[in-house]
């Protein structure tokens, strides 16, 4: 490993730690073990302490705890694992959440770190990988009350929480979206919003000038030309309209708020992965037309339908469903495509920040892995992880998992823990749910109710529980979780790698 010599220096410098703490210590053996542990954590943040212990020639758990203590208290080694390793994306995202994982295991109440707001009334697209119920839309009559509840929630939301606006359905279909953005700003939140961009017209922007107060706006890009767009959205002209809206928004941004970051999200599917370079061409063209700072960031996500959309229960109520999941061979091919892509980013769009997400980070670094972290139905947390994340829709329903937050998605009711109202605050709902102590029995196919972020959080809590049962608590792990309190550490944007 690149930093092995420097890690060995740290061990040599601190030899007395082992003399004092480990009986009959053998320095060479300890060096090997520490390098091995750092290597494992650098490649797999979700590895359990039991797995680490079983892979090492350690006789007692107590010795692992002592070695963990050395790693945990050494800032240099911490930095190598969490900030310089190939898994830094994982570490950056999960550290503040890992820090409270024992509170999740013990069902201790804590205000959620992340709240995803789903204020959309409907959606005009019919994406084949989407888990929405394509027959469902909210009644217009619920909009005013729903928005008022969200505004009230924002007034009382813990200031250390992170708020985002997305879907659920398409958020810009809510005629009062500007009021929600304003309420969030008034309460001091920096808000990112995800949209499909179809409604982001000049007229919409005029009616909703609060949109300029967002921290970032991310448009989900469903293709790179008319045909590819229509294939996914099933809506003709969707490409032309979204592209026109994007160029116009980029132009106007210079006038209204040139600090607002604008980005795109592109989902890589087996059907489109060979055309990834076309996305860069698209951005280049858009930037040239907008004649401004252009698109700031691109998030790439892969094989989405394997997480959520490949849900046969929706087949009778949706236009079509993408069939394929990405095979191992296709993923190997994707690794090659990403190397080419990375080099082209430098020449085509040098100022573009590319966020490869959890699963593509490895591939983008030329390391093959099997992809997204996915928990099975039997591994689902029976109380979710409300201390970490919840989603709230226009009805005020509080969802344990984010992909459950589609109106009338078959089977999603079991993931609703209450509805916010005049009398029922988010805090009350969560407290009551945890105090009631009635676990939810999830089925195998309920994993479709989680998005990839939920899968990571779920896996993280399971890891912590496994470590705890094995006899190693959070404070005895090799990572110094406690320094990552949510106040300073939770990121809420895609335009930088900062935590």
Contact footprint for ligand SF4 (CB under 6 A): 123, 125-127, 130, 132, 167, 169-170, 196
What is the spatial distance between Cα 191 and Cα 180, in angstroms, rounded to a whole number? 10
Nearest distance in Å: CB 121, ligand SF4:
12
User: Given the complex with ligand SF4, which of 173 and 389 has the nearer CB atom?
Assistant: 173
User: Given the complex with ligand SF4, which of 85 and 196 has the nearer CB atom?
Assistant: 196
What is the spatial distance between Cα 9 and Cα 1, in angstroms, rounded to a whole number? 14
Nearest distance in Å: CB 168, ligand SF4:
7
265, β-bridge pairs: 220, 299
CB 193 within 8 A of CB 168: no
User: Given the complex with ligand SF4, which of 87 and 220 has the nearer CB atom?
Assistant: 220
Nearest distance in Å: CB 35, ligand SF4:
44
Nearest distance in Å: CB 126, ligand SF4:
6
User: Given the complex with ligand SF4, which of 451 and 476 has the nearer CB atom?
Assistant: 451
User: Given the complex with ligand SF4, which of 85 and 308 has the nearer CB atom?
Assistant: 308
Tokens 């040239």 locate to 288
Nearest distance in Å: CB 298, ligand SF4:
17
Nearest distance in Å: CB 204, ligand SF4:
16
The string of DSSP letters for 6-61 reads: HHHHHHHHTHHHHHHHSTT--HHHHHHHHHHHHHHHHH-TT--HHHHHHHTT-S-H
Nearest distance in Å: CB 403, ligand SF4:
10
Question: Of how many residues is the chain composed?
Answer: 499
User: Given the complex with ligand SF4, which of 36 and 325 has the nearer CB atom?
Assistant: 325
3-state helix, strand, coil in the chain (%, to 5): 50, 10, 40
Nearest distance in Å: CB 223, ligand SF4:
12
CB 128 within 8 A of CB 305: yes
Q: In this structure, what DSSP letter does residue 107 have?
A: T
User: Given the complex with ligand SF4, which of 123 and 247 has the nearer CB atom?
Assistant: 123
CA angle 358–446–302, rounded 5-degree value: 25
The per-residue b/e assignment along 377-397, b for 16 or more CB within 10 angstroms, e otherwise, is eeebbebbbbbbbbbbbbbbb
CB 98 within 8 A of CB 87: no
User: Given the complex with ligand SF4, which of 80 and 117 has the nearer CB atom?
Assistant: 117
User: Given the complex with ligand SF4, which of 56 and 124 has the nearer CB atom?
Assistant: 124
Nearest distance in Å: CB 454, ligand SF4:
16
Nearest distance in Å: CB 334, ligand SF4:
21
Six token digits for residue 86 = 């190939």
Output the CA–CA distances (angstroms, integers) from residue 402 to 208, 428, 437, in the order listed. 26, 20, 22
User: Given the complex with ligand SF4, which of 322 and 380 has the nearer CB atom?
Assistant: 322
What is the spatial distance between Cα 247 and Cα 242, in angstroms, rounded to a whole number? 9
Nearest distance in Å: CB 60, ligand SF4:
51
CB 407 within 8 A of CB 137: yes
SS3 460: helix
Kindly tell me the sign of the dihedral angle through the C-alpha atoms of 163, 167, 168, 174.
positive
CA 444 to chain CA centroid, nearest Å: 22
Q: Residue 285: which residues within 8 A CB-CB, separation 6 or more?
A: none
Residue 60, CA atoms < 13 Å, CB-side half-sphere: 7
Element of type H or E holding 100: none
Q: In this structure, what DSSP letter does residue 299 have?
A: E
Nearest distance in Å: CB 304, ligand SF4:
9
User: Given the complex with ligand SF4, which of 199 and 462 has the nearer CB atom?
Assistant: 199
User: Given the complex with ligand SF4, which of 309 and 371 has the nearer CB atom?
Assistant: 309
């Amino acid at each position: 490993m690149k930093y092995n010599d420097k890690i060995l220096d740290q061990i040599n410098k601190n030899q007395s730690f082992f003399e004092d703490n480990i009986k009959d210590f053998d320095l060479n053996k300890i060096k090997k073990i520490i390098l091995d542990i750092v290597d494992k954590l650098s490649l797999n943040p979700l590895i359990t302490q039991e797995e680490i212990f079983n892979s090492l020639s350690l006789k007692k758990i107590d010795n692992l705890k002592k070695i963990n203590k050395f790693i945990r208290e050494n800032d240099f080694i911490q930095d190598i694992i969490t900030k310089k390793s190939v898994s830094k994306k994982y570490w950056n995202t999960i550290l503040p959440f890992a820090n409270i994982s024992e509170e999740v295991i013990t069902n201790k109440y804590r205000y959620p770190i992340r709240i995803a707001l789903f204020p959309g009334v409907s959606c005009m697209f019919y994406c084949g990988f989407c888990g929405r119920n394509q027959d469902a839309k909210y009644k217009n009559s619920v909009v005013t009350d729903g928005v008022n509840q969200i505004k009230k929630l924002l007034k009382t939301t813990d200031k250390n929480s992170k708020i985002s606006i997305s879907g659920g359905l398409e958020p810009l279909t809510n005629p009062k979206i500007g009021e929600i953005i304003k309420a969030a700003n008034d309460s001091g939140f920096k808000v990112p919003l995800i949209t499909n961009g179809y409604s982001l017209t000049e007229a919409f922007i005029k009616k909703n000038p609060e949109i300029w107060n967002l921290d970032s706006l991310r448009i989900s890009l469903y293709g790179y030309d008319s045909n590819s767009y229509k294939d996914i959205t099933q809506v003709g002209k969707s490409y032309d309209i979204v592209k026109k809206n994007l160029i116009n928004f980029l132009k106007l941004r210079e006038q209204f708020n040139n600090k607002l970051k604008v980005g795109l999200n592109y989902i890589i599917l087996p059907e489109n992965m060979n055309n990834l370079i076309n996305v860069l061409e698209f951005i280049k063209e858009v930037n040239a037309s907008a004649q401004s700072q252009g698109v700031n960031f691109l998030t790439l996500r892969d094989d989405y339908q394997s997480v959520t959309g490949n849900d046969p229960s929706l087949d009778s109520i949706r236009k079509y469903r993408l069939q394929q999941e990405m095979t191992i061979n296709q993923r190997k091919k994707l690794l090659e495509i990403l190397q080419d892509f990375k080099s082209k980013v430098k020449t085509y769009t040098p100022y573009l920040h590319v966020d490869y997400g959890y699963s593509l980070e490895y591939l983008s670094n030329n390391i093959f892995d099997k992809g997204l972290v996915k928990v099975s139905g039997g591994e689902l947390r029976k109380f979710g992880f409300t201390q970490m994340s919840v989603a709230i829709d226009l009805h005020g329903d509080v969802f344990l998992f984010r992909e459950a937050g589609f109106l009338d998605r078959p089977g999603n009711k079991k993931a609703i823990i209450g509805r916010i109202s005049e009398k029922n605050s988010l805090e009350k709902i969560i407290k009551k749910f945890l105090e009631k102590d009635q676990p939810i029995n999830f089925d195998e196919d309920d994993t479709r109710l989680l998005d990839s972020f939920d899968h990571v959080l779920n896996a993280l809590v399971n890891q912590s529980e496994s470590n705890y049962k094995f006899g190693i608590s959070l404070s005895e792990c090799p990572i110094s979780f406690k320094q990552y309190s949510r106040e300073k550490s939770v990121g809420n944007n895609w335009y930088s790698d900062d935590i």
